[in-house]
Amino acid sequence: MCRDTARHVISLSDLSDVDIRRIVARGGEFARGAAAGLRPQPTLAGSVIGLYFSRTSTRTRTAFSAGALRLGASVVAYGPGDLQLNTGETSEDTGRVLAGMLDALVARTAGDPAEMRAWARQERMAVVNAMSADEHPTQALADLTTLAGQFGAVDGLRLLYVGEGNNTAAALALGLSRYPGVRLDLRTPPGYGLAAEIRDRAAAAAAASGAVIRERHDMAELPADAEVVYTARWQTTGTSKPDPDWRAVFDPFRVTTAVMSAMPKAVFMHDLPAHRGEEVDAEVLDGPASIAFTQAESKMYSAMAVLEWCHGAG
């Protein structure tokens, strides 16, 4: 172990600008090393990482599992029915027990992040939010790693996000708002925008950094100078929409070939999984401008950087 006390990644708002840039830079180092055929040093040898996923996951769970193993750690995996939380044990007690055995717990609940904060009320085990209802911070860190690799830097980029103001959009806004000169335009369906609390936090961070975060609820006057177009699937894991006619509201908010043609220099990003023909045309997702699958691979390199940072090894 290389740390005195655990460092948690529950919300991007908990991390300093230096922390975010350090994690993103380290993720980029891992990506470049892999491209060169280099094996990472076992900086987490002897550590034990717990993975608790109460919701489905392909990329995030595999990224943290493979990343931990590549860094020399051992992995203990829990499914949704494995912990005594199901029999009434408190979150605080669960956290105290696991902290005596694990060095980090990576968790996806798609619920209130208060549970993760309860697990984090100890100083021995790091807690990593692998997605909660309000925010997907490790997705944003992977996205920032992808952007830095694609463009050389995140500062000053111009991005368009199209779709629901879900936990991916929230984390993207909270992350990009830390970078000077960034402009993020969000186009979200009426009634499905960013939560007011997230919007306020992103606005405060943007005011401090010099970034611009703007949100509209229509698809008119799209920014022709966007360098990135980003979308996410319409049905977020673990959630449902109360309006039975929600698809009619979402229908205009598709990333089509026409949308991409209006921004000919833009690359396309998607947090995946994707539903071709819904939020994105197949020709866009599978086309030459798409870096969505590079973005997915970046999740492992970013996960490695997060785990190192939590253990003070990065």
Q: How many CA atoms lie within 13 A of 33 on its CB side?
A: 16
Instruction: Give me the CATH topology for the region 12-135+300-310.
Output: Rossmann fold (3.40.50)
pLDDT of residue 91: 86
Residue 252 has pLDDT above 70, yes or no: yes
Q: Are 272 and 214 in contact (CB under 8 A)?
A: no
Distance CA 1, CA 31 (A): 24
Residue 55 has pLDDT above 50, yes or no: yes
pLDDT digits (tens, 9 = 90+) for 80-135: 888 888 888 988 899 999 999 999 999 998 678 899 999 999 989 999 999 999 99
pTM above 0.85, yes or no: yes
pLDDT of residue 237: 58
CATH number given to 139-296: 3.40.50.1370
pLDDT of residue 113: 87
Q: What is the number of other CB atoms lying within 10 angstroms of the CB of residue 75?
A: 16
Domain boundaries, the chain: 12-135+300-310, 139-296
Q: Are 167 and 133 in contact (CB under 8 A)?
A: yes
The answer to which of 50-59, 69-78, 104-113 has the lowest mean pLDDT is 104-113
Residue 238 has pLDDT above 60, yes or no: no
User: Which are the contacts of 249, defined by CB distance < 8 A and separation ≥ 6?
Assistant: 189, 190, 191, 192, 243
The answer to which of 64-78, 112-126, 229-243 has the lowest mean pLDDT is 229-243
% pLDDT > 70, the chain: 96
Chain Cα centroid distance, residue 228: 16
pLDDT digits (tens, 9 = 90+) for 167-192: 999 999 999 999 999 999 999 999 99
Distance CA 36, CA 290 (A): 23
Token couple for 187: 């186009």
pLDDT of residue 2: 42
Q: Do the domains 139-296 and 12-135+300-310 match in fold?
A: yes
Residue 314 has pLDDT above 70, yes or no: no
Mean pLDDT of the chain: 94
- Quick one: pLDDT band at residue 1, thresholds 50, 70, 90? very low
pLDDT of residue 129: 97
Distance CA 59, CA 233 (A): 14
